[in-house]
Chains A and B, each alone.
Chain A
């Protein structure tokens, strides 16, 4: 038996469910959703489902139905199906964004994700406002569906600072055309930094973990994250170096216009003089 789970059962009264269970649901952040399949030219198009039957490209599924009342060592499982509904082979990337909440609690949470025959990993959540790549490069043929097993765990050694706190996180899926020779990670916002979940430019607010934690008596539970089979722990990835500009704009439009006008006038004057004095 999982010691973390048994510890959780031993202390049911100590777990306060008073915290706002805003979710655990992968909320339908419909306000930020764009419509329809992405590509009009036969590119990849991604659809998600929480039951493997009903897929949608513009509605985010519920992955973790209940994340309230977690205690150190506890973990919750979730499943999501990802389908490549486009006409080209594609690759899936997954990242987890930490939106808001208690920083200590957030950083005590771990997300494990994996699929049969695909990449899998366990990563601790980044500090609120940060983002962490879970995996990338899961190949999907056109029409193929992948079932992803997810688990969110609270570190067994989480401190008292996590008690009765809340944290919010989001799952960020990115599909890109396969065969490009390079795979990008889902964890990059338009500004080149880690993507906080609340960004409106990248609607990835996919889940809210409302947790109430009583700490201090949690037993050691190294498998707290309940990693699916084949999931290994991934080193905290080093942040990518900030990209540098490789071009610079030539801002000289007024001068150019003036120079052009001057050149035209000069040419006209010379031509006129030539006509007068052949």
Chain B
């Protein structure tokens, strides 16, 4: 018994991936991979630099000097979370006001715990890269928080975006993203409508 099989050519619908030369296909794939990678980086950056500080009620700082180098070199982005004074220990990195109630702050490591004659707990702090401890004891009312985590290099970018004279960059970027999203939605809806129309005409 013999069986015959007749191959019938079937017209396959063209998909974006299957169109064009192999080189174009590879280019398209590479572009998509890069886009995914960029999206992943952006999501991670948003998580680490924006979402986590907001969620934990932390304040972010940028390191300006070498006093905490090499681990926290200039440009390091520091996330400092408000922490009860009693929970702070030797080895913690704290951010404290130089003058109580004023914005200038220092981020240094606690190297010693002390007490005043009235029983008040105070800390001695020092920059990791400094040979001398900070001159005065740090009191509870000076402490803004404890270092939660730090991200190297990105601090200057974050800081420059937050400067007063460049304060419009973030809102403009946000509006741009929202506009691009809206444009994409409209374009997608319009494309779908056109496809339907074309398929209706074809039938």
Given contacts A182-B124, A245-B98, A248-B159, contact A269 B181 (CB under 8 A): yes
A46, B49: Cα distance in complex, Å: 43
Among residues of A, the one whose C-beta sits closest to the C-beta of B62 is A248
A-B contact count (CB 8 A): 264
Whether B162 contacts A255 by the Cβ 8 Å rule is: yes
A176, B108: Cα distance in complex, Å: 17
Within 8 A of A (CB), among B156-199: 158-159, 161-162, 167, 169-171, 173-178, 180-182, 184-185, 187-189, 191-192, 195
Whether A206 contacts B117 by the Cβ 8 Å rule is: yes
Stretch at the interface among A15-23, A29-37, A99-107, A148-156: A29-37
Quick one: which of A36, A185, A191, A256 contacts B50, CB cutoff 8 A? A256
Among residues of B, the one whose C-beta sits closest to the C-beta of A187 is B136
- Most central of B98, B133, B191 by chain A CB within 10 Å: B98
Whether A174 contacts B158 by the Cβ 8 Å rule is: no
Quick one: which of A192, A242, A266 contacts B181, CB cutoff 8 A? A266
Whether B46 contacts A260 by the Cβ 8 Å rule is: yes
Within 8 A of A (CB), among B90-124: 90, 95, 97-100, 102-108, 111-122, 124
Among residues of B, the one whose C-beta sits closest to the C-beta of A57 is B119
Taking the nearest CB of chain B, how far is it from the CB of A58, in angstroms? 6
Quick one: which of B124, B126, B174 contacts A259, CB cutoff 8 A? B174
Whether B170 contacts A174 by the Cβ 8 Å rule is: no
A184, B61: Cα distance in complex, Å: 26
Taking the nearest CB of chain B, how far is it from the CB of A70, in angstroms? 25
How many of chain B's residues have a CB under 8 angstroms from any CB in A?
Answer: 84
A35, B158: Cα distance in complex, Å: 42
Name the B residues within 8 Å of A57 (CB-CB): 119
Quick one: which of B46, B102, B120, B176 contacts A38, CB cutoff 8 A? B120
A181, B139: Cα distance in complex, Å: 20
Name the B residues within 8 Å of A192 (CB-CB): 98-99, 135-136
Among residues of A, the one whose C-beta sits closest to the C-beta of B68 is A246
Taking the nearest CB of chain B, how far is it from the CB of A199, in angstroms? 10
Within 8 A of B (CB), among A56-101: 57-58, 60, 86, 90
Among residues of B, the one whose C-beta sits closest to the C-beta of A240 is B135
A242, B98: Cα distance in complex, Å: 9
Stretch at the interface among A1-9, A222-230, A270-278: A270-278
Whether B134 contacts A243 by the Cβ 8 Å rule is: yes
Taking the nearest CB of chain B, how far is it from the CB of A192, in angstroms? 5
Name the B residues within 8 Å of A276 (CB-CB): 188-189, 191-192
Closest 4 CB pairs of A and B: A188-B136, A255-B170, A176-B114, A182-B133
| Chain B residues within CB distance 8 Å of chain A | 39, 42, 46, 49-51, 54, 59-65, 67-68, 77-78, 86, 89-90, 95, 97-100, 102-108, 111-122, 124, 126-127, 132-139, 141-142, 155, 158-159, 161-162, 167, 169-171, 173-178, 180-182, 184-185, 187-189, 191-192, 195
15 A-B interface contacts by CB (under 8 A): A39-B121, A44-B114, A177-B124, A184-B114, A186-B116, A204-B116, A204-B118, A248-B61, A250-B158, A252-B167, A253-B54, A255-B169, A262-B176, A269-B185, A276-B191
| Chain A residues within CB distance 8 Å of chain B | 32-41, 43-46, 48, 57-58, 60, 86, 90, 172-177, 179-186, 188-193, 201-204, 206, 240, 242-253, 255-263, 265-270, 272-273, 276-277
A-B contact sample (13 more), CB < 8 A, given A204-B117, A255-B167 = A38-B122, A46-B116, A172-B117, A176-B113, A176-B115, A249-B60, A249-B103, A249-B105, A255-B162, A261-B178, A262-B175, A269-B181, A277-B192
